[in-house]
Chain A
Amino acid sequence: DVQMTQSPSSVSASVGDRVTITCRASQGVRSWLAWYQQKPGKAPKLLIYTASTLQSGVPSRFSGSGSGTDFTLTISGLQPEDFATYYCQQADSFPLTFGGGTKVEIK
């Protein structure tokens, strides 16, 4: 099974900050990597797929990069509505696996 490791597990940031979250796969997943945002009590929302493709309707301040085993989600210019938990997920092979999550909190 592919293990997905996210870091940091939490980050405190201010509105306007640039935030970077990393996700490392235990083996190569090519570009089959997605990022989701989840707010308390809500379903996850797809932000990015195939490592760097922005899902329709997602603001351009979100961007993704990487391939193989190392991936990054960047939020450029954090907005109040961006405070949430973010998860990466590999879609290269079954079983599908998620990272442990990164909580973005208000500083």
Chain B
Amino acid sequence: EVQLVESGGGLVQPGGSLRLSCAASGFTFSNYWMGWVRQAPGKGLEWVANIKEDGSEKYYVDSVKGRFSISRDNAKNSLFLQMNSLRAEDTAVYFCARVPVHRPFDYWGQGTLVTVSS
């Protein structure tokens, strides 16, 4: 059974940093692109970043470029999102998701809440 479990969310002050993790199981992690999608309270879905199977390609939404960094550890079946210079508008539930070849996000984690507030 495919499972994605996010962790690392919490309350952080504006300008602070947070590192999200996503533990994957039930599939060969190194064979899949992975991504992060967020959802601000009461709002719609916003794609944040994707990373290729071997980590050689990374893509970001403009609003997080230069502040967020996506990475992965295939030996530990883990996906990460390092978030720096956090702003109030980054407050959201962050989901990690699997991306099969030629398909969109087919499996999602349950999400982890990030709150940026003083």
Contact = CB atoms under 8 A, between A and B. Distances in A.
Interface of A: 1, 34, 36, 38, 42-46, 49-50, 55, 87, 89, 91, 94-101
B109 to A, nearest CB: 7
Tell me what chain A mostly uses at the interface: helix, strand, loop, or mixed.
Answer: loop
Interface residues of B, number: 21
A90 to B, nearest CB: 9
B23 to A, nearest CB: 15
B36 to A, nearest CB: 11
Given A46-B104, A87-B45, A95-B59, 11 more contacts: A36-B45, A43-B95, A43-B109, A44-B45, A44-B105, A50-B102, A94-B50, A96-B50, A98-B45, A100-B44, A101-B44
Nearest to A48: B104
B28 to A, nearest CB: 18
Contact of A95 (B62, B108, B111): B62
Interface in B40-57: 44-47, 50
Contacts of A46: 104-106
Central interface residue in A38, A44, A50, by most chain B CB within 10 Å: A44
A34 B60 CA distance: 19
Nearest to A89: B104
A64 to B, nearest CB: 12
Contacts of B61: 95
